[in-house]
Amino acid sequence: MSKLKLAVLAGGSSIEREVSFRSAENILKNLDSEKYDIHTIELPKDKRDTAWVSQLMALHPDFVLSALHGGRGENGAVQGLLQCLDIPYSGSGILSCALCMNKQAAKSIMEGAHIPVIDGEFIPLEADLNAFEQKLDRLEYPLIAKPNRGGSSIGIEVANDFDALKKAVENIRKQYDDDAVIEKYIDGKEVTCAVVQTDEGLKIMSVLDINKSKGIYDYDAKYLSTQSAVSFTTLPDYMKTMIEDIAVKAFNVLHCKGYGCVDMLVKDEQIYVIEINTLPGMTDHSLIPAAAAQSGMNLSEFLDILIKQRIK
Ligand SMILES: Nc1ncnc2c1ncn2[C@@H]1O[C@H](COP(=O)(O)OP(=O)(O)O)[C@@H](O)[C@H]1O
Ligand SMILES: [Mg+2]
């Protein structure tokens, strides 16, 4: 039997380009070359350079494993291209990627489905910031400001007053050309629930505690620190069950597929969903390999499941 032709997509033009290379490296290390004919396609930094599309069309792999994070790789655009080319791929489809990469859109849908999210305000790119002062005061500081379409905690700041918040939003506008999502800062325990679709249905891989050394789980802790940022949750079983139920509900309501990580904050027994990552990191430092290990799988077995689910 001929081997399945796989293409791993890596790089891209988003600010998470370097993280993508590290995810790809780890994926390549864990794919079985006895089973798969493996190719890597690098998406360039320059969005206008489309040579990779020709490369992909010429190769026409049986399956694409995406190691892309952020930007077009995670917002549904690359998924749309793959769909046009009739190439099956790992993870969520166009709709859920687009929704989950837009924090405000995902929050609105979750709210509508009675999934607990954090109170906040949406500040469009062109809006007059001063018009929001009173509304933000009512939310009560500290507040957190995030780029609506950001990732990897880049551009996120905690503000203790309106002046600091204005600076954070101006920075989001200037650096990332993005709308801002403002939320109450929840000084709670952070957890992530990793899920994967298997033949038996949606399976919870693990609920992991995020061990933040600072106020937020920032870029350094996610990718640079040598200390393990995650451990099996110490929350009591009844909380863990609630977290798992909320994760499944959020995954389904946002039409996610394949796998994903549902990030949450827990304070005073109240659980809030922060976001769903449709293409979570796969670096040797990331949550997915840790969650897979918790559920008794190594990364190779996890990747096999992703491929098998789509190629039957
Ligand atoms: N409302 C909040 N209160 C406290 N911490 C938060 C809040 N929202 C986000 N964070 C912290 O910031 C990190 C990144 O936020 P998130 O919304 O997941 O953006 P990104 O897409 O950049 O990962 C979270 O993992 C968490 O540590
Ligand atoms: Mg996040």
Cβ(70) – ligand 1 distance below 6 Å: no
Q: How far is the CA of 151 from the centre of ligand 2 (A)?
A: 6
- Kindly list the distances between the CA atom of residue 226 and the CA atoms of 18, 19, 90, 209, 280, in Å, as whole numbers in the listed order: 17, 15, 28, 17, 19
pLDDT computed for residue 160 by the predictor:
98
- Is pLDDT of 153 > 80? yes
More confident residue, 310 or 205: 205
Could you check whether the bond before residue 61 is cis, i.e. omega within 30 degrees of 0?
A: no
The token pair that represents 255 in the structure block:
């039409």
CATH number of 120-184: 3.30.1490.20
Q: Find the mean pLDDT for residues 118-133.
A: 97
What separation in Å is there between the alpha carbon of 35 and the centre of ligand 1?
38
Going from the Cα of 134 to the center of ligand 1, the distance in angstroms, rounded, reads 23
Q: What is the per-residue burial (b if ≥16 Cβ within 10 Å, else e) of 114-128?
A: ebebbebbbbeeeee
Query: Which ligand does the CA of 155 lie closest to?
Result: 1
Measured in Å, residue 308 CA sits from the centre of ligand 2 at 27
Pocket residue to mutate for ligand 1, from 99, 139, 153, 172, most atoms within 8 A of Cβ: 153
pLDDT digits over 217-257, tens only? 887 777 766 666 788 899 999 999 999 999 999 999 999 99
Looking at residue 55, what is its pLDDT? Answer: 98
Gyration radius from the chain CA atoms: 19
Q: What's the mean pLDDT in 28-44?
A: 97
Q: What is the mean pLDDT of residues 129-141?
A: 97
User: What integer pLDDT is reported at residue 228 of this predicted model?
Assistant: 64
Provide the H-helix boundaries in 254-311. Answer: 287-294, 299-310
Does ligand 1 have an atom closer than 6 angstroms to the CB of 183?
A: yes
Residue nearest to atom 16 of ligand 1 (CA): 153
pLDDT of residue 226: 63
**What 3-state class would DSSP assign to 234?**
coil
Is ligand 1 within 6 A of the CB of residue 217?
yes
User: Could you give phi then psi for residue 224, rounded to 5 degrees?
Assistant: -105, -35
Mean residue pLDDT of the chain comes to: 94
Q: Is 275 in the pocket of ligand 1 (CB under 6 A)?
A: yes
- Kindly state if the Cβ of 309 falls inside 6 Å of ligand 1: no
Give domain limits for the chain: 4-90, 99-116+187-310, 120-184
What DSSP state is assigned to residue 89? B
Ligand 2 centroid to Cα of residue 264, in Å, is 9
* Non-local CB neighbours of 234 within 8 Å, separated by 6+ positions: 209
How is residue 66 written in tokens?
Answer: 């995406």
CATH code for residues 99-116+187-310: 3.30.470.20
According to CATH, the topology of domain 4-90 is Rossmann fold (3.40.50)
Is there an atom of ligand 1 within 6 Å of 185 CB?
yes
Q: What is the pLDDT of residue 165?
A: 98
Query: What Å distances lie between residue 299 and 56, 150, 224, 247, CA to CA?
Result: 25, 26, 20, 21
The rounded Å distance from CA 44 to ligand 1 centre is: 28
Ligand 1 site-directed mutation target among 209, 274, 275, 286, most atoms within 8 Å of CB: 274
Residue 282 pLDDT greater than 90, yes or no = yes
Ligand 1 within 6 A of 274 CB? yes
Q: In the chain, what percentage of residues exceed pLDDT 90?
A: 85
Q: Which atom of ligand 1 is nearest to the CA of 212?
A: 27
How far CA 185 is from CA of 118, 120, 216, in Å, comes to 9, 9, 10
Ligand 1 centroid distance, CA of 301 (Å): 30
Give distance in angstroms: CA of 219 to centre of ligand 2. Answer: 10
Please check the confidence at residue 312 and state whether its pLDDT lies above 70. no
Integer CA distances (angstroms), 213 to 36, 42, 122, 219, 303, in order: 40, 34, 28, 12, 31
SS3 of 260, please?
Answer: strand
pTM: 0.94
Residue 225 burial (CB < 10 Å; 0-12/13-18/19+)?
middle
